[in-house]
A and B are shown apart, each in its own frame.
Chain A
Amino acid sequence: MTAAARLRLENIVKEYPGCRANDGIDLTVAPGEIHALLGENGAGKSTLMKVIYGVIQPDEGTLYWDGEKLTLQGPAHARQLGIGMVFQHFSLFETLTVTENIALGLPASEAKDRKALEKRIREVSTHYGMALDPRRHVHSLSTGERQRVEIVRCLIQHSRLLILDEPTSVLTPQEVADLFRTLRQLASEGCSILFISHKLQEVRDLCHHATVLRNGKVTGECDPTETSTDAIARLMVGDETPLSTDVPPATPGAPLLEVSGLSYASDDPFGTALRNITMELRAGEIVGIAGVAGNGQDELLRALSGEYKAAANQVCFDGQDVGQLGPDARRRAGIAVVPEERLGRGAVPDMSLVDNTLLTASAQGMVSKGWVAYRKAREYATRVRDRFQVKSDGIEAPARSLSGGNLQKFIIGREALQEPRLLVASHPTWGVDVGSAVAIHQVLVELRDRGAAVLLISEDLDELFQLCTRMGAICGGRLSPLVPTESLSIGQLGQWMAGDFADAAGEVNHAVA
């Protein structure tokens, strides 16, 4: 290795109670290189990034910056050196303007002259083709625009290494293309880019070099343009884990859920209103809804679960008007729901799996005349655990102690064992290891084949294309048509995700029927 490496890590170790998140990691990034850091959830990517950005201190190991040994004092120090970072969950302040947000990251002396700063923001954003109005409040920006703020913030600080954590998971396909153009331009000007992802196709399109992590260790390095996705995937997950589920074709039956003209204005000032949602779900099919987070997915889920009430006939399930029913009554009618936040909504973090069983499965004979039959709850929790291979420290373990994948298997299992006739699942495999994701997909397909309808709300387009019988997208609280998956192009879906439903009207007629 030459002294010219912009960043070099040597034997980085970071240990947390109960897990060795980074276990002797080496990594080298050259100037102007777009370097992919690959690995599935829990492989240690996030920890490593935080080490590079100075958010956390490694227990062992050394960082070299332009060949010089380096001990980072914190993010401010890292930025001063020219290390910029775009977190997956943006570190922006919604109530402040773009300029104020960027000023916060700068030294006081540079941030003082707001006018000059605004000018610089405009210059930088135009130069890299990322249109941005410095005076707008962040809460009024779309997700893609927020990402631009993060990137511009780094560039204004003259970053020579830009770290991007799963940057494409929040974008529409077109926005991804725009982002890649910007990144290539940056790289050609000499900026190094560390691109963290688990999406292999993107990495092959963009990156010059890839380092793969598994269980906190480097399992391989490769040139992604010359390595097959399957070979990289094997480096990520190892040899034992199956990579995907086989999805046999569906045989949809009679209509089960009919939503007609559903509108809902959220009382959350930062929420999204649902606008005239109409859709139909049949028994025995999986219907997918794509979309960038925050476009009404959560509101739609609540409107279906009964947390938000609608006019009675706006939600019709199995011939019964359920719009006015609450979650409990809808669950009894056969609607099960798996929300996006598994810890802190789908499960109570500090309660045991047994108690968490009671949360939604109490109607399975666990309560009589107001008294809880804990024996029944324990039996049910044990069945869920055994049937869905939930790894936990017993059924009395608190939900928070389970890994993301195991907790999600528990939650989906808890709902699936109640034999729902409609399952609404939001981002069921988000942040889940590949093995669990495959198992979760299996459960959804099995439910479908037993005649249930499944509504899958997800940001993961691969997942949607793989599982769904029909699909569409949600944007700004409006729903696109739901068309058979095989007739849908990714370009069309991207337009829908961006809210462009213009040419959709004609398609509805021949596609839905």
Chain B
Amino acid sequence: MKEKKSNLWLRTMKHYQLYLLLLPSAVLLFCFAYLPMVGIVIAFQSYSPALGIAGSKFVGMKNFLQYFRSYQFGVTIKNTLVLSLYSILVGFPLPILLALMCNQMKTKMFKKVFQVITYLPHFISTMVMCGLILIFLSPSSGLFANLFRLFGAQFPNLMSSASAFKHVYVWSDIWQHLGWDSIIYLAALAGIDPTYYEAATMDGASTLQKIRYIDIPMILPTAMVLLILRAGSILGIGFEKVFLLQNVQNIMSSEIISTYVYKMGMQSMQYSLSTAIGLFNTVVNLIVLLLVNFIARKTTDSSLF
């Protein structure tokens, strides 16, 4: 036993240079990822910056109950789920369809141009993207308003409509990321053995039949893994875009958990409440991820862990 221990020590010493290479990232992770995890205790406290974590009073689940009983609980959960599920519903199948289509393009040059152009919007920053949305949707001088005016129609003010928010959010995301999201499926399609297609052609299969019986089964595992990942972050929908597109008129459908966490924490200075809501969000995310992963492993062969 003792010998084994010293053996480990020797092995460790022999490899100190490897640890040296790990040191910077490990220190940063410890400081800025793990130390904040310790800070989660303030979710169970009535935290005051003056008293610090050690001096603040422990209040148990009070902050969580305050959130659960508040009016904002139902609203934020509903909005988060609506945006998230809508995003998956549209954003999951479309890249697959695009990849299947792109894979059939026989003209190399055209395919290349098509890819370069459809990937392009992915590199626009969220800030600029939201700026574009606001400019184009402006009811007085926006591109859409002018286009509608050509046909004598009135363009509605989408940004001040609570019911239109989800459509603006999801479809602008599709515009920006559809091409990029299809890359991974294209890679999977590129890996298919060409003899499958040759055999199918010999048997007289049409293009659509090849897609149905060769392409789709071949990319199914990739699709499952990506679906699990997306489902796992069902309550973790991105803060940035929702926050930037939010305004007083559409707040009823644009207040999501993460924007509420930000407001409670950084604007209202309710540190404990904000942390409690954030923790609730993280825990639910983890549970959903594990659940979806479990179901996927039971029903299909693909899973994350």
To the question of whether A and B form a pair in one complex, the answer is: no
Interface set of B (CB-CB < 8 Å, partner A): none
Interface set of A (CB-CB < 8 Å, partner B): none
